[in-house]
Structure 1
């Protein structure tokens, strides 16, 4: 039996025998267990006089959930990228720099972005609806570690993108090279990254409230 399993089993039996949490903590500490190990072992059980001890719900991970959350994350990222790319190309057309000409490769990029959005946007919306429905039916899925990790990673990437965009905008302003085209593109980038941040903040916030 692994040490962690031994600790969990001892804690359960001690609580079942009516020992107080202070007594269990003192006994385990004197036996050489670290404070965080003792706290985690006790936190796994509800502080209640009910016997036998009531276990707290624990995050669980399944391959199926990981697949859907990773696909959702990827679909949203791909959609956001091509929304930004398409808007960038539109800005180049509507607010061109002096001497700029719309090239053939730029048309190809716009076609590719449109084709990508036709595929990935419905996919993201379907995945979002499916995941939301699954979570509504089984609220325990909010404790999924993959769901939380991907949410926080997405928020981190969105936040760093917004900060980098702001730095670039200020640099261009200080350099005296801040044009309408650059300002509009910075606005698009901030809006797309901000939308992703707000989306995942809402999802993660609900998960934290349910934890």
Structure 2
């Protein structure tokens, strides 16, 4: 029997015997089990006054979730990257950098690619997000789906990295004394998109009640 199976069996037997969760926790911690392992084992059961432990549902990953959240993540990356790329090109045109020797040219091809990708990726992302929301409305237990939480964690992590990178760029530009209107606008664009991503996906980390 694997260690985690032994732990689950011990908790089940202990609860069935009438021992309180705090007593079982103390005993397991005293034997060297980690706080996270003990909490995970105890959280798998509840007591409704029946005289025996009641298992809590544990949602498992499935192929449909993998396809849904995998495509959603790729679409999100395409949307955010091309929004930033297109925004940078437009900012460079509207706010020429006085530090450059010549005006900004050659952005037309890049902008066309960004627009083309956004035309495809943005509707796809919105449709997938709506599909995930409908599934959640029908079954609130979907909040426990492992892939949903992993998707939320990874998305928020990348958004936080973008904010951190923007902060580093601002400090560096300030030290170099090259904070231009174009640079400020580009940083503001990155921060805005990262903040929108965080606001959009923060509920992906919420547990079902």
TM-score (norm 2): 0.85
How many residue pairs align between the two structures?
206
Between 1:48-57 and 1:85-94, the stretch displaced more is: 48-57
- Give the corresponding residue for 1:77: 77
- CA shift for structure 1 position 62: 1.1
Question: In angstroms, what is the RMSD of aligned CA positions?
Answer: 2.5
Q: Deviation digits for residues 126-170 of structure 1, max 9, x if unmatched?
A: 000000000110111101122112212221221121122122123
Q: Unpaired segments of 5 or more residues in structure 1?
A: none
- CA shift for structure 1 position 23: 6.3
- CA shift for structure 1 position 33: 6.8
Q: Deviation digits for residues 16-38 of structure 1, max 9, x if unmatched?
A: 354554665677678x5736455
In the TM superposition, 1:24-103 aligns within 5 A as: 34=33, 36=35, 37-98=37-98, 99-103=101-105
Pair 1:169–1:40, CA change in 2 (3 A): closer
Q: Unpaired segments of 5 or more residues in structure 2?
A: none
TM-score (norm 1): 0.84
- CA shift for structure 1 position 3: 3.9
Q: Deviation digits for residues 85-104 of structure 1, max 9, x if unmatched?
A: 11111111111234433433
Pair 1:158–1:24, CA change in 2 (3 A): closer
Pair 1:11–1:124, CA change in 2 (3 A): same
Q: Deviation digits for residues 101-137 of structure 1, max 9, x if unmatched?
A: 3433x21100000000000000000000000000110
- CA shift for structure 1 position 184: 0.8
Counterparts of 1:183 and 1:21, CA distance in 2: 55
Pair 1:28–1:94, CA change in 2 (3 A): closer
Pair 1:20–1:196, CA change in 2 (3 A): closer
- Give the corresponding residue for 1:135: 136
In the TM superposition, 1:1-211 aligns within 5 A as: 1-21=1-21, 34=33, 36=35, 37-98=37-98, 99-104=101-106, 106-204=107-205, 207-208=206-207, 210=208
